């Protein structure tokens, strides 16, 4: 069965960095585009970034452009989100999801940016 | 920032039919497929409708999607208590993916 498992969340100070990982199983990871989506506490869903299966196409939300970097390692069935210059408003649960339709989501990992 | 507008809440009694609207523009809903997601508190969203009106396997046929112009709708017929959740629409807008503002469905 398809599984997506995020890790790497935690508490970080404003201006700090964090790297999230998403490990995929149950499908041919290298065939699928992937996205990161986040949800601030008590708020709605916000798409963050998207990467094609070969990493040749990458898109970012304006709110994270220049600070976040999405990447993938198909050999390791893994998706990453490098987050730099973190701000308080980046505090959220971060989900990875399989593209096409966002038909499968991970359980999410909480990132808290606070001093 | 959401550019798809949904009503904050809708409610209905068991067995009723409720609809959730999703209003966008020509660059998103007007040009691309619409997707709908259901989310229960503390859990990840689940795909409910893809490509405007297609249901993934396992999604009851009580849920249906439609699109007209720059707006879309999700209908829930035969409302059940377990349908009480948050619902989000989504669509591509050029190279950005946009989600709706979200709608809380309450079963009275």
Taking the CA atoms of B42, B22, B32 and B1 in sequence, report the sign of the dihedral they define: negative
- Cα dihedral A8, A9, A11, A14, rounded to 10, equals 90
Is the pLDDT at B61 greater than 70? The verdict is yes
| Backbone conformation region of residue A55, classed left if phi is above 0, alpha if psi is from -120 to 50, else beta | left
Is the pLDDT at B53 greater than 70? The verdict is yes
**Pairing verdict, β A34-39 and A45-51:** antiparallel
* Set of chain B residues whose Cβ sits within 8 Å of the Cβ of A45: 37, 39, 45, 88, 90, 99, 102
Hey, is the C-beta of B2 within 8 angstroms of any chain A C-beta? yes
What φ, ψ does residue B83 adopt, rounded to 5°? -85, -5
pLDDT of B3 reads: 83
Percent of chain A past pLDDT 70, that is, above it, reads: 100
pLDDT digits (tens, 9 = 90+) for B8-36: 999 999 999 999 999 999 999 999 999 99
CA B54/CA A101 separation, integer angstroms? 11
Hey, is the C-beta of B47 within 8 angstroms of any chain A C-beta? yes
Taking the CA atoms of A17, A23, A29 and A33 in sequence, report the sign of the dihedral they define: negative
pLDDT of B2 reads: 63
pLDDT digits (tens, 9 = 90+) for A37-50: 999 999 999 999 99
pLDDT digits (tens, 9 = 90+) for B69-91: 999 999 999 999 999 999 999 99
CB contact under 8 A, A95 and B35: no
């Amino acid at each position: 069965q398809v599984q997506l498992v995020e890790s790497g969340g935690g508490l970080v100070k404003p201006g700090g960095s964090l790297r999230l990982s998403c490990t995929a199983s149950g499908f041919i990871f290298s065939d699928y585009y992937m996205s990161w989506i986040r949800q601030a506490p008590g708020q709605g869903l916000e798409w963050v970034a998207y990467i094609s299966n070969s990493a040749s196409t990458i898109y970012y939300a304006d709110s994270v452009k220049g600070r976040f970097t999405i990447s993938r390692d198909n050999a390791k069935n893994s998706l990453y989100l490098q987050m730099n210059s973190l701000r308080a408003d980046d505090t959220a649960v971060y989900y990875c999801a399989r593209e096409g339709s966002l038909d499968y989501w991970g359980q999410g990992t909480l990132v808290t940016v606070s001093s | 920032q959401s550019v798809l507008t949904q009503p904050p809440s809708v409610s209905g009694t068991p067995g009723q039919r409720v609809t959730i609207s999703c209003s966008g523009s020509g660059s998103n809903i007007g040009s691309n497929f619409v997707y709908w997601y259901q989310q229960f508190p503390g859990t990840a969203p689940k795909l409910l409708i893809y490509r405007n009106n297609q249901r993934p396997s396992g999604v009851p046929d009580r849920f249906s999607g439609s699109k007209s112009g720059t707006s879309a709708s999700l209908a829930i017929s035969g409302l059940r208590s377990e349908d009480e959740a948050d619902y989000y629409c989504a669509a591509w807008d050029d190279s950005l993916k946009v989600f709706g503002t979200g709608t809380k469905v309450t079963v009275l």
